[in-house]
């Protein structure tokens, strides 16, 4: 598999049109140097939307049919045990079915009561009292309607109009069914309220995370801009031409940054394009003292990463690792895809970490903000998503792990 690397020359796209940059992106393979095809930057919100299931709302007729089928199934279910115990089951079947169909007629009324009155009651005792008060009239109406339906069938001799002594039996049975129906409706309503609350909570948490990420990024940008302007200012008097080149690269970098400001994540290809302008500024400033090497798997270019992720890490390597050395050094950025993760490394061969340095006590602005952004975006990895340590032969190594949550597969945008 080829790798992406920076080398001297001009940056070219798949249209073979050169970019006037001091470094270039090329695909290294065993056969030779093949140029990497790139695509137009993906604007915010232009990603293909995910398919959403838009279920049609049931019509009133469909709801009525569903209620009728449910109560018919209930009637048949409660009939089976008595049919097995009593050979004369025709009257029992009619009795249970008409009893269930009467409840089917009353169900819309129960739903209406639940929506109009029960939904407003937030105190449990009031809700119980409401349905207790309504239980007697509703069950009486059910008993009366059932008696009317069963009267034309002499085989159901125990119906209320034919045998008044059985009226209490129908009433008590109706109370049990009424309690079960009300309990099911309340359980469904509470479940629906719970799920709605969970969705709202998730939206609020997501908004809070996004707000925090925006705030953290806003902390980064003035910090970076101050350092860049400071570097340009130092060259204005001694080398105006060099300062003008750096200002041009800074302007291009800021334009790239503004293009991504509304997104917490961008593709790695877009992040490398932003980094390219920053490296151009540093290349002009330090010349051959500091070299930059980018070794990234082409397969990783479409993976989403936090915007402005690499620049503060590279800046940290330059300022604290290489700038003070007369001999300079090299900053390397690498990226591979493995075990369902994108793994990025930013290393340098500079002076390394101070003796006794610990991540918890670090006061560096860029490192702290980067760690907080990664932890907020990928809480499932926790602190494992970001690690910094001294190199085995000197210098500093920064390791970043990003789960593969989303990719733009139709080309990576620079």
pLDDT tens column, 140-156: 999 999 999 988 888 88
Question: What percentage of residues in the chain have a pLDDT greater than 90?
Answer: 15
Q: How far apart, in whole angstroms, are the C-alpha atoms of residue 361 and residue 256?
A: 33
pLDDT band at 391 (very low <50, low <70, confident <90, very high): confident
Worst-scoring range by mean pLDDT, 104-108, 262-266, 281-285? 262-266
Residue whose C-alpha is closest to residue 294's, from 76, 19, 36: 36
CB of 131 within 8 A of CB of 182? yes
pLDDT tens for 214-252 read 554 544 455 566 666 776 776 777 778 777 777 877 777
| Class level of CATH domain 3-29+206-353+361-403 | alpha beta
In this structure, which long-range contacts are made by residues 283-287, counting pairs with CB atoms below 8 Å and at least 24 apart in sequence?
A: 283/22, 283/23, 284/22, 284/242, 284/245, 284/246, 284/249, 285/231, 285/235, 285/242, 285/246, 286/318, 286/323, 286/328
Helix (H, G, I), strand (E, B) or coil at 292: strand
**Lowest-confidence pick of 84-88, 92-96, 291-295, 369-373:** 84-88
CB neighbours (10 Å) of residue 280? 23
Cβ atoms of 141 and 174 closer than 8 Å: no
At 21, the pLDDT band (50, 70, 90 cuts) reads very low
Low-confidence winner among 44-58, 247-261, 262-276, 299-313 (lowest mean pLDDT) = 44-58
Q: Which helix or strand (DSSP H or E) is residue 396 part of? A: strand 396-403
Q: So what's the pLDDT on residue 363?
A: 57
Between the alpha carbon of residue 300 and those of residues 211, 220, 234, 331, the distances in Å are 27, 25, 37, 20
- Give Cα 233 to chain centroid, integer Å: 42
Structure-model confidence comparison of residues 98 and 394, the more confident one: 98
Output 272 or 376, whichever has higher pLDDT.
272
Task: Report pLDDT for 357.
Answer: 73
Q: Give the Cα separation of 294 and 36 in Å (integer).
A: 14
Tell how far CA 143 is from the center of its chain: 53
φ, ψ for residue 401 (rounded to 5)? -120, 130
Mean pLDDT for the chain overall: 74
Q: Which one-letter DSSP state was computed for residue 23? A: E
Q: Phi then psi for 49, rounded to 5 degrees? A: -70, 145
Contacts of 391 (CB under 8 A, 6+ apart): 347, 349, 352, 397
Q: How many CB atoms lie within 10 A of CB 218?
A: 12
Question: 100 pLDDT exceeds 70?
Answer: yes
The pLDDT value given to residue 55: 39
- CA angle, 408 as apex, 403 and 413 as ends, to 5°? 115
Residue pLDDT, tens place only, 349-375 = 888 887 777 766 665 667 777 888 788
Which segments of 237-267 does DSSP mark as H helices, in order?
240-259
3-state secondary structure 53-84: CCCCCCCHHHHHHHHHHHHHHHHHHHHHHHHH
- In b/e form, how buried is each residue of 330-354, taking b as 16+ CB within 10 angstroms? ebbbbbbbeeebbbbebbbbbbbbe
Kindly provide the residue ranges of all beta strands, DSSP E only, lying in 93-232, ordered along the sequence.
none
How far is it, in rounded angstroms, from Cα 292 to Cα 345?
A: 13
pLDDT at 124 over 50: yes
Element (H, E) at 193: helix 167-236
Cβ distance 146 to 102 under 8 Å? yes
Give yes or no for a contact between 331 and 382, defined as CB atoms under 8 angstroms apart.
Answer: no
- Determine the Cα–Cα distance for residues 218 and 307; give it in Å rounded to an integer: 12
Q: Quick one: pLDDT at residue 25? A: 37
The DSSP letter of residue 156 is: -
Nearest CA among 291, 294, 319, 298 for reference residue 227: 319
The pLDDT of residue 333 is 94
How many alpha carbons lie under 13 Å from residue 410 in its C-beta half-sphere?
6
What does the alpha-carbon distance between residue 107 and residue 60 come to, in Å, rounded to a whole number?
13
pLDDT at 394: 83
For the chain, which residues make up each domain, given as ranges? 3-29+206-353+361-403, 60-200
Instruction: Give the pLDDT band of residue 13 (cuts 50, 70, 90).
Output: very low
């Amino acid at each position: 598999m080829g790798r992406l690397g920076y080398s001297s020359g001009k940056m070219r796209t798949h249209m073979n049109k050169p970019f006037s940059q001091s470094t270039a992106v090329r695909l290294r393979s065993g056969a030779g140097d093949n140029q990497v095809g790139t695509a137009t930057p993906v604007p915010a919100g232009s990603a293909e939307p995910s398919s959403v299931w838009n279920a049609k709302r049931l019509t009133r007729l469909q709801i009525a049919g569903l209620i009728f089928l449910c109560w018919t199934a209930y009637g048949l279910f409660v009939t089976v045990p008595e049919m097995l115990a009593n050979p004369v089951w025709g009257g029992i079947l009619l009795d249970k079915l008409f009893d269930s169909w009467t409840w089917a007629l009353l169900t819309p009324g129960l739903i209406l009561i639940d929506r109009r009155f029960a939904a407003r009651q937030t105190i449990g005792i009031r809700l119980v009292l409401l349905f207790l008060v309504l239980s007697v009239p509703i069950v009486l109406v059910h008993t009366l309607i059932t008696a009317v339906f069963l009267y034309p069938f002499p085989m159901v001799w125990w119906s209320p109009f034919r045998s008044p002594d059985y009226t209490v039996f129908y009433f008590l049975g109706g109370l049990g069914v009424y309690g079960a129906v009300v309990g099911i409706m309340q359980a469904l309503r509470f479940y629906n309220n719970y799920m709605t609350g969970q969705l709202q909570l998730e939206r609020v948490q997501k908004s809070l995370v996004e707000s925090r990420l925006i705030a953290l990024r806003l902390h980064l940008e003035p910090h970076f801009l101050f350092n860049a302007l400071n570097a340009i200012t130092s060259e204005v008097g001694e080398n105006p031409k060099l300062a003008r080149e750096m200002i041009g690269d800074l302007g291009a970098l800021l334009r790239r940054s503004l293009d991504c400001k509304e997104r917490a994540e961008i593709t790695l290809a877009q992040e490398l394009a932003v980094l390219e302008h920053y490296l151009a500024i540093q290349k002009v400033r330090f010349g051959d003292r500091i070299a930059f090497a980018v070794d990234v798997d082409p397969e990783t270019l479409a993976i989403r990463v936090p915007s402005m992720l690499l620049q503060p890490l590279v800046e940290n390597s330059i300022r604290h690792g290489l700038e003070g050395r007369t001999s300079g050094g090299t900053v390397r950025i690498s990226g591979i895809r493995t075990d369902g993760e994108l793994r990025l490394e930013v290393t340098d061969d500079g002076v390394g970490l101070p003796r006794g340095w610990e991540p918890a006590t670090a006061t560096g602005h860029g490192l702290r903000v980067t760690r907080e952004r990664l932890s907020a975006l990928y809480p499932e990895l926790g602190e494992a998503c970001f690690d910094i340590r001294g190199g085995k032969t000197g210098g500093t190594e920064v390791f970043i792990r990003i789960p593969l949550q989303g990719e733009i597969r139709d080309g990576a945008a620079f």
